Amino acid sequence: MFVFHPLDYVIIVAFVLSLWASSRVRSTFNKWSEVPIYSGMTGAQAARRMLDSNGLYDVPVEAVPGTLTDHYDPIARVVRLSEPVYYQSSISAVSVACHEVGHAIQHKVHYPMLVARHHIFPVVNFASGVAPILILGGFIFQQIPWLLGIGILFFSVAVAFQLITLPVEFNASSRARDLMLSEGFISNEEERGVAKVLRAAALTYVAAALISVLELLKYIMIFSGRNNND
């Protein structure tokens, strides 16, 4: 059975931070969605121009349903933008669109952390599925200590994936901001709004990684405590 650990208080705080970060992303996106961009470009147009200026003529830009469902698909090599981002001409739309193009550029130049994330992804899919089962089994069947240990090992792979994701996301945002300015997509005055949109989005990744790291630490402390008591 699960035991409430003192570290759970910190995890709860981190979870609340995660909820706040998600809310912050939506509110910031909505706020700057109402601010037209001086260039008049839509998110789709900005993405297309940035892709072309970096020699990525063969990477298409597609609209997908939903809000904040934007992503770059490295397997299909396509930038997918949510409908508000694809069609709108706003600070938020162009910021998000160019961020996703930042991932496409990372793919082209073989950005090391993105390459590492791609390589670890198949393992993460498997590890994320079996880790909760093994950890739960480790708490229920305490007479089989290796269950919890193996569960922790698989969970650590998922945590590593989230930690690798952080520099990937920050780097994509940095590339987007630099290119948006250098290519005249935004003015110097508009950079403040772009920075706020991209920072708010990054907060969600930071919060998720923090929760995972704290959970991993908790399981390690419980596992070590059991071994010390044996």
User: Which amino acids are annotated catalytic?
Assistant: 100
C-alpha of 45 from chain center: 24
Quote the tokens at residue 95.
């910021």
Distance, in Å, from the CA atom of 74 to the CA atom of 53, rounded to the nearest integer, reads 19
Alpha-carbon distances, residue 203 vs 20, 62, 207 (angstroms): 9, 26, 6
Distance, in Å, from the CA atom of 142 to the CA atom of 171, rounded to the nearest integer, reads 43
Report yes or no: 75 and 19 within 8 Å, Cβ to Cβ: no
The neighbour count for residue 42, using CB atoms within 10 Å, is 20
DSSP string, 21-68: HHHHHHHHHHHHHTSB-TT---HHHHHHHHHHHTT-TT--EEEESSSS
Element (H, E) at 78: strand 78-82
Quote the tokens at residue 53.
């200026």
Residue keyed to tokens 């909760």? 132
